[in-house]
Amino acid sequence: MLSIRQLSKTYANGVRALRDISLDIPNGMFGLLGPNGAGKSSLMRTIATLQEPDEGSIRLGDMDLLADKQATRRLLGYLPQEFGVYPKVSAEAMLDHFAVLKGAIAKGERRELVEALLRQVNLWDVRKRKLGSFSGGMRQRFGIAQALIGDPRLVIVDEPTAGLDPEERNRFLNLLAEIGERVVVILSTHIVEDVTDLCRHMAIIGQGQLLLAGEPHEAIRALEGRVWRRTIDKTELDGYRARMNILSTRLAGGRTLLHVLADNLPETGFEPVAPDLEDVYFGRLRAQATARAA
């Protein structure tokens, strides 16, 4: 269990990226969901000991992650949002190089490790190919292979599915799920389905604040009977916005599909709809925006 307590960070330019975040992250896949600029990368980098918080603590079991950075890095695998590789180097040679950096000195040991990892992420057959020729999904799977060097207890992946096509995304998420059976995996994303499909536990953050922590299905259940939908003309949207608590708008067959949060039928013409995680997500973000405007 990873325990984050009262973590805060304000950057030199005055942006409050993390505001008093306290969060427990159990074994398995954990989804950290938030829009661009919410503070996800700031939180991920802080856990990965790449930046200091102003306040707060992070513990894994009885270990203080912020106090002992070297030890933390030994038990941590990290796939950053911007993962750069040398385009002219083969996957095999690059992974071998990462293994050296992580302290695997003996050549024979490294050869076995590199082979096992390339097989695990399904890149063994293309191990001699240059990384520059890899597709986005292959690059991300390579990124996971390097994060798994050293058998980490904690794996952090920052927005890994952005830009992947659906097949690559599925393949990548399946790989993460496998890893999540053994260790803590924190997946940061702004894609709600990534969390729905994969994560037993989750948190939502917005503007540096924790807006929800728990299990996706419980958060969804809490909205039951309170989400309503209606298809309208795009020109009517502003009127609805002024009158109702709109969760989301989607285009459907040239018309606009509204999801509205209300304890009772908002107007004739609406019908009840089974809530999903997107309703939870947009509901929380909207509540935060309303509270801040007040």
Ligand X SMILES: Nc1ncnc2c1ncn2[C@@H]1O[C@H](COP(=O)(O)OP(=O)(O)OP(=O)(O)O)[C@@H](O)[C@H]1O
Residues contributing to the site for ligand X (CB under 6 A)? 11, 13, 15, 17, 34, 36-42, 81, 159
Q: Which is nearer to ligand X, 11 or 86 (CB)?
A: 11
Q: How far is the CB of 210 from ligand X (least distance, A)?
A: 13
Residue 15 or 265 having the CB closest to ligand X: 15
Q: Are 260 and 246 in contact (CB under 8 A)?
A: yes
Q: Is the dihedral of CA 54, 41, 278, 199 positive or negative?
A: negative
CB of 209 to ligand X, least distance (A): 11
DSSP conformation class of 207: T
Name the pairing type of β-strands 154-158 and 2-10: unpaired
Nearer to ligand X, 188 or 256 (CB): 188
CA distance 121 to 143: 9
Query: What is the nearest approach in angstroms of ligand X to the Cβ of residue 158?
Result: 7
Q: 150 with 102: CB under 8 angstroms? A: yes
Measured from the CB atom, the residue of 104 and 187 that comes closer to ligand X is 187
Query: Cα–Cα distances in Å, from 49 out to 12, 15, 19, 42, 92?
Result: 18, 20, 18, 11, 27
CB 258 within 8 A of CB 230: yes
The residue (of 42 and 248) whose beta carbon lies closer to ligand X is: 42
Q: How far is the CB of 46 from ligand X (least distance, A)?
A: 9
- Report the nearest approach of ligand X to the CB of residue 207 (Å): 8
